[in-house]
Amino acid sequence: MSERIYVFKRFERLWHWSQAALIITLMLSGFEVHGSYTLFGFAKAVSLHTVAAWSLVTLWVFAIFWHITTGEWKQYICQPSKDKIMAMVMYYSKGIFTGAPHPFHQTVQRKHNPLQRLAYLGFMLVISPIIWFSGWFYLFHDQWTAWGLDAWLSLEGVAFFHTLGAFMILIFFIAHIYLSTAGHTPTSHIKAMITGWEEVK
């Protein structure tokens, strides 16, 4: 027997889809700036990349404030056991294809399964600092001398770490898309992020 629960509040859904649109824009423009293809033209891609980056920073400021004031930050900091993480890995790699029962039961207090929590924590604590610090240093490279950093940084090194962060985000993005189809139907998680309502068993 299943029930519908209201999991994702309006701001969470707005934040999620706005963030997704900005990250896609950043990837498209960023890989063009990197020289992977031509889509917007180099100058327009640089401008678009910069505007999208500052927009995402602004969105994150609001999201951090929202998470702190609502207590939703707790959704990301639990310490899932190794067994629970491995149960999710086995489910996504094998169980989902054999009709095995889902090892995690979603609630309003626990929106994300242990593997999701670990992935989101990694995104916030590892990938995000790499991409933001390298992007910030790259954007303000003409200030390095004034800041006393020109002896410590090189454009090639900063660009390398920014590109590394971009590929890490791309891998996260692809995995996120795949796992969004892993509900009781291929579109149930996507619908939940549109309506806020999740059907759980």
* Helix, strand, coil content of the chain in percent (nearest 5): 70, 5, 25
In this structure, the dihedral spanned by the alpha carbons of residues 66, 51, 54 and 19, taken in order and rounded to 10 degrees, is 40
Tell me if the pTM is above 0.85: yes
Alpha carbon distance 48, 52 (integer Å): 6
DSSP string, 137-200: HHHTGGGHHHHT-TTT--HHHHHHHHHHHHHHHHHHHHHHHHHTT-SSSTTHHHHHHHHSEEEE
Phi then psi dihedrals of residue 103, to 5 deg: -75, -5
Q: What is the DSSP letter of 77?
A: T
How does pLDDT run along the chain (201 residues), one tens digit per residue? Answer: 678 899 999 999 999 999 999 999 999 999 999 999 999 999 999 999 999 999 999 999 999 999 999 999 888 876 667 888 899 999 988 888 888 888 888 888 888 888 888 899 899 899 999 999 999 999 999 999 999 998 899 999 999 999 999 999 999 999 999 889 888 788 999 999 999 999 887
Q: What is the pLDDT of residue 78?
A: 66
